[in-house]
Structure 1
Amino acid sequence: MLNIIEGKEQRPKKIVIYGPEGIGKSTFASQFPDPLFIDTEGGTSNLDVRRIKCNKSWNELIAIVKEIHANPHICKTVVLDTADWSETLCTNAVCEKYRKNNIEDFGYGKGYVYLVDEYARLLSLLDQLIEVGINVVITAHAKPRKFELPEEQGSFDRYEMKLSRQVAPLIKEWSDALFFVNYKIYVVTTDTNKKKAQGGKRVLYTTHNPTYDAKNRFDLPEELELDFKAIAHLFETYDVPAEQVMDYDSKDVTTLAFVEQLKKKLEEDDITEEQLQKVVAAKGHYELETPISDYSDDFITRWIIPNWKKIVETIKNEKGEQ
């Protein structure tokens, strides 16, 4: 039977933001609803945000996205910072898997075929975050590429994402909006008839232009101020699948579910409740005697789950010293 849906669907958004280094891409992304950064390049150190550092392994990045999908109430927005560094992790993983020194060693472009397949797997996992009610933001650096006009009419620089020619189209097609961030420069003529550049205001470009890539599916103006308020209306409401909706008024039921999930993780990693209590107490979050059943759901989802790997490492290291 056909499942016909009429009209617009309000759902979480897939946003890509790219621009020159230091222009404020990560700061802008930090203004999205309840963001959790997956930091692949260490560029969020000066931001007051929640982050999971992931700069060593592609498999670790995949595992983090899967973990967030399994715990969708950790955040409302996942920010992958940045696309180009994540592509580097992906490239390294492909080369390691096939025992090549670099992506060009495959010959006949076969290495890039593997790269595209692997990166598409990440985008598919990010799509699954959308299905459970989480916005996804990807940041990327920009690079100019010289574009030659036909019939020797000249050339100009065109900004695009600092990605391979194989991965960049994947991300552009995947996104609901591709925003280009840059400084708006005006050229004025002085009294002595000289041309002088002025301005420097940061602008968000939302539609395609010969000098940069951009797009949006929301009928936005061509230029916006680099302020989340300019696009905040896109995130006011969206539909979450019924099976993902939890009754937050039933706090006891919600907390019990999180505690049971935590106990399952303890069992999987062969860790006792007492060992976890020691780590929590050492960090000053709860008294040592506090049972994990008394931990708040907010503490479990916002501190324990995001830091689970570090907690396990701490406990294993203490075991080794004994």
Structure 2
Amino acid sequence: MIDPSIIQTGIQTKPLRVLIYGVPGCGKSTWAAAANNSLKTIFIPTEDGCDELDVAKFPKAKTWAEVLDYLAYLYEAEHDYKVVVLDSITATEQLIRNIVAKEYAAEENEPEITFEKIPWGKGYKRAAEKVQTLMNACDALRNKGMQTILIGHSGIKPFHDICSADQWDQYKLSCHEQIASPIIAWADCVFFVNYDRTAASVGEGFKKRTIGRDAGRRIMFTECRATHEAKCRVSRLELKEKEELNGRAFWERVCQKMNF
């Protein structure tokens, strides 16, 4: 018998789980570090890139075990951090591949084996299980009141539309599909960052060609389009489809709209 008192009504406010990915050098880590102006932030770096950021950070994690150790510390220890940033999920995938290959080699009594040579797709299945462990750890921190930001690189991959039978290229998170898909489904917000660029035709006849023009602005896309994956489940944030890449303004809005 279900107790009707467990039924929830109204909007439930929970810390955000954000994936922000984009082209190299566009300011993703700086955007994440700007959360520190509103909510005390700590980075878990798995690649170089955040040394110049004035924000708390663990030493660079060189193994999957170190990533889990840092997350466990944030869960078990007394602290006042409100945002954890994993920089980056793309580099973390390689740490996961390394440990999966090591574990498989030990089980099979192989002296050494690369991730790609693990047969029958078992490597990717095990990697997906590690990613689920990562998401579970972030959710445990969420239950303690911490926001999560995952930073990722982007890659250009072919997209096949079943409805129209058309195919085109699309910016996607630069991780294997079995790792990227559950992360994108799990995240409350998926933001794609790129420079504000347009294409223009110049010349005439055989000399006609297309050139790119850069407006000098960095744009954060918040909705899915044919060119990229993006989403935002939190309508209270009232985000436009294209937002200026301004981390300070975004996290101030989060605190204001969601009362953090």
Q: TM-score range by the shorter chain?
A: 0.7 to 0.9
Unpaired runs of 5+ in structure 1?
Answer: 241-322
Unpaired runs of 5+ in structure 2?
Answer: 106-111
Structure 1 pair 10/101, CA: closer, same or farther in 2 (3 Å)?
same
SS at match of 2:34: coil
Choose the corresponding residue for 1:23, options 23, 26, 29.
26
Distance 1:189 1:159 in 2: 23
Counting matched residue pairs gives 240
Structure 1 pair 226/217, CA: closer, same or farther in 2 (3 Å)?
same
Give the partner amino acid of 2:242: E
1:65-76 alignment runs, 5 A limit: 65-71=71-77, 73-76=79-82
Q: Quick check: 211-220 or 25-34, which moved more? A: 211-220
1:184-227, Cα deviation, whole Å (9 max, x unpaired) = 21234569786543224100000111111111112322110001
Distance 2:242 2:103 in 1: 43
Query: Between the two proteins, what is the percent identity of the paired residues?
Result: 28
1:1-322 alignment runs, 5 A limit: 1-2=3-4, 3-32=6-35, 33-71=39-77, 73-99=79-105, 101-147=113-159, 155-188=167-200, 195-198=210-213, 199-219=215-235, 220-228=239-247, 229-230=249-250, 232-236=252-256
Structure 1 pair 194/98, CA: closer, same or farther in 2 (3 Å)?
closer
Give the partner amino acid of 1:37: F
> Normalized against structure 1, the TM-score is what?
0.69
> Normalized against structure 2, the TM-score is what?
0.84
Q: Quick check: 211-220 or 75-84, which moved more? A: 211-220
Distance 2:259 2:217 in 1: 35
Distance 2:231 2:164 in 1: 29
Distance 2:99 2:180 in 1: 18
Give the partner amino acid of 2:79: H
- Measure how far apart 1:238 and its partner are: 5.2
SS at match of 1:178: strand
Question: What is the alpha-carbon root mean square deviation over aligned residues?
Answer: 2.4
Distance 2:60 2:157 in 1: 29
Which protein has the bigger strand share?
2
Distance 1:151 1:129 in 2: 39
Distance 1:68 1:49 in 2: 16
- Measure how far apart 1:165 and its partner are: 1.1
Q: Is the 8 A contact 1:207 1:216 kept in 2?
A: yes
Distance 1:182 1:34 in 2: 27
Structure 1 pair 28/108, CA: closer, same or farther in 2 (3 Å)?
same
- Measure how far apart 1:44 and its partner are: 0.4
- Measure how far apart 1:34 and its partner are: 1.6
Q: Is the 8 A contact 1:19 1:142 kept in 2?
A: yes
